[in-house]
Amino acid sequence: MSAISRLRNLLCDRSVRTGDFTLASGRRSRYYIDARLTTMTGEGQILVGEVGFGAIREAGWTPEFVGGMTLGADPVAYAIAHHATRTGTALDAFTVRKEAKGHGTGRQIEGGLTPGARVVVVEDSVTTGGSLLRALEVVAAHGAVILGVLALVDRQEGGAERLAAAGYDFCAVFAARELL
């Protein structure tokens, strides 16, 4: 079975729930995809790394860094960076905090991201794109060159359109309908 098929199965088994949920966007939904229940497992890390890095390559992006808004993006970014490096492509990860630290260095971005670096911003699941747009704003203000945006799952509720309207190239590994 291919890595993408195994990842789809793992997401369906571990991450998809039905019921009545309020999403981060404030919208109500009959289903919830808690991708962290997949991305934070050993098997999920291997599969997300392989499939995510493949999607980045397929999009034609050549980043130096991959990262996004904590917490959903963290395991996705780390898995992709790990896979890329193990297969011979130098790629580091970064994390965007929701707010700058109030102590120490006071950084909002952790992980060594430098101004001018080429990046792909990642997310586990996209609904309206609000969290991604906040992360993109922080990364752009830091001076990074944003090549594109990659999500593990696109719920297809306007996020892709909002990202496109803001000028970002977006792709998702799965549409939510593929997991339901």
pLDDT value at position 104? 79
pLDDT value at position 26? 86
**Strand, helix or coil at 23?**
coil
Contacts of 118 (CB under 8 A, 6+ apart): 61, 62, 63, 64, 65, 144, 145, 147
Contacts of 103 (CB under 8 A, 6+ apart): none
Quote the pTM value: 0.96
pLDDT value at position 41? 98
pLDDT digits (tens, 9 = 90+) for 169-179: 999 999 999 99
pLDDT value at position 141? 98
CATH 3.40.50.2300 is held by the domain 3-178 = no
pLDDT digits (tens, 9 = 90+) for 24-54: 888 899 999 999 999 999 999 999 999 999 9
What are the residue ranges in the chain where pLDDT is below 50?
none
Q: Domains of the chain: which residue ranges?
A: 3-178
Mean per-residue pLDDT of the chain: 97
Crossing angle of helices 73-86 and 42-58, rounded to 10°:
70
Q: What are phi and psi of 10, to 5 degrees?
A: -65, -45
